[in-house]
Structure 1
């Protein structure tokens, strides 16, 4: 099976410009301060040059599946129910509307995001090689690009991933290349690039994980990725019509509630919440269902395709039960790219430009995207 490998507008520009070099400074303008909703994508660019185009991922079918007992360890039961999905507050984006009634059946969910230690056990058992550890195939990659997109130099088509790199001065918040560095050999084992490691961070969420990687792990573990509706129902933690998993108190009020960007993004992080990059699992209080980090830390993959108008297509007076997402992906900004939903925000989200840690906040990314702030958790029926 061949997997697509899209390089969308930002990713192509990043590679062609040699994004691994020190970000350039650009003057900030008042316009960027007034486009908070439009710049939400800046906290998770929608596609990343990865390394697909090969046949099925190496080692994916090797190893033994975990036992039923192991599958339930570290999971909590989420009772099914009915809720109003989406948002209509001042921070709500068009693809979060209209609010609509959804009913989901009960399911088990990982209490935490999948950790480095858990992912390492999967790799050891199967020999799996992640997206970020493989070289891209240009012939496959260009199938989801606008016609005429130039081919990057071969020296840039390498096993690599995008790593956060704070610029030295204030930058244009629409210029994502200002804080993303395309680093060869950056992957889940070396989250900040060559020379870094996960030693001592075994209990941190695994990152640089593509949707394909998350799917492979879930299958091995006897689980699956959550639907977007299941994810939002679980994130709400039994609370009705609240903005965050903990309620309505602002992210910067009271004691730290999640691992997000404190200060001025992307130049200054005060680390008021205790961390600059990822935080260990269970560093903050769980929500009402006993789930940790449903806001912040790392973005989490869902099973659903992303479609910008999906909520409008399923909105009915009677509501909908167990929605599993649209039949196909569509992002009007990048119509050639196939995308999946990601949820929850990350350690790079800041309320001044990106409130991805709201329970209704939606983001999307191509299936082979791998970044320093994207991970996942699993569910089980």
Structure 2
């Protein structure tokens, strides 16, 4: 499905049980759709242009450097990610929704399965030295549903709180050690935090109010 507001491809995650967390608890989630890739600089620029929202500080004015238009947007706080999601008529994913999209139903350790992280699967451990275009590691690193870049490249904000002060990010980044790449790994940070390794993707529940094209 292509979401009308931001023209972004979304992946259908069917209703059903999946194994969640390190304890592999059986959890039921209703059907939803999630962005195939993290939100890119180019997509975030459309939001900035439409709303006059402050751009990430490293951009040149209101546009990202052209060579990183298809890289995931970074230097975004949880509040920035939430503002984009609201504008697009979406929401940030819960931890459960993010994890099911990343690992499928059977509790696999990594988005691609059981194999140890390697350079053909994702961008991690500073091996490239920066973010890479979304989809660079597709299809080898794709999740069982076809979601892209859910390990490495950028940590992704979720809607869930870790505690009263912090929100949860998932997925690891281009700088992350391999211990941060399992789909169950969590990072807790203050929602005002922003950095060169923080990005996000969005989701919508089924039967959304806003029409979308196929």
TM above 0.5, yes or no, is: yes
1:348 aligns with 2:175: yes
Change (3 A) 1:199 1:293: same
Distance in 2 between the 1:231 and 1:246 partners? 15
Match of 1:86 in 2: 21
Q: Note if 1:288 corresponds to 2:122.
A: no
Counterpart check, 1:122 vs 2:122? no
Instruction: Give yes or no for the alignment of 1:242 onto 2:167.
Output: no
> What's the counterpart of residue 378 of structure 1?
202
Partner residue of 1:226 out of 87, 90, 93: 93
Distance 1:188 1:83 in 2: 39
Cα-to-partner distance string for 1:96-149 (whole Å, 9 max, x where unaligned): xx442211111111100000000001001100125x6xxxxxxxxxxxxxxxxx
- Asked if 1:304 is matched to 2:160, the reply is yes
Verify the 8 A CA contact 1:211 1:367 in the aligned structure 2.
yes
Bigger strand share? 2
TM-score of the pair, normalised by structure 1: 0.49
Task: Name 2:9's counterpart in structure 1.
Answer: 74
- How far apart are the structure 2 equivalents of 1:368 and 1:243? 30
Residues 246-281 of structure 1: per-residue CA shift (max 9 Å, x gap): 1111013xx6100101xxxxxxx5x3xxx2110101
Local SS of the residue matching 1:200: helix
Task: Say whether the 8 Å CA contact 1:281–1:293 is kept in structure 2.
Answer: yes
Aligned length in residues: 198
Tell me the distance in 2 between the aligned counterparts of 1:73 and 1:201: 17
Between Structure 1 and Structure 2, whose CA radius of gyration is higher? Answer: 1
Gaps spanning 5+ residues in structure 1: where? 1-66, 88-97, 133-186, 191-196, 262-268, 308-328, 330-337
Query: What is the root-mean-square deviation in Å for CA atoms of aligned residues?
Result: 1.9
Please report how far the alpha carbon of residue 359 of structure 1 lies from its aligned counterpart in structure 2 after TM superposition.
0.6
**Equivalent position of 2:81 in the other structure:** 214
Distance 1:291 1:303 in 2: 18
Match of 2:188 in 1: 364
Change in 2 beyond 3 A, CA 1:128/1:72: closer
- In the other structure, the counterpart of 2:30 is 105
Match of 2:66 in 1: 199
Detail structure 1 runs of 4+ shifted over 6 Å in the superposition: none
Structure 2 residue runs of 5 or longer lacking an equivalent are 206-214
Cα-to-partner distance string for 1:280-324 (whole Å, 9 max, x where unaligned): 0110122221110010000000001113xxxxxxxxxxxxxxxxx
| Aligned residues of 2:3 and 2:9 also touching (Cα < 8 A) | no
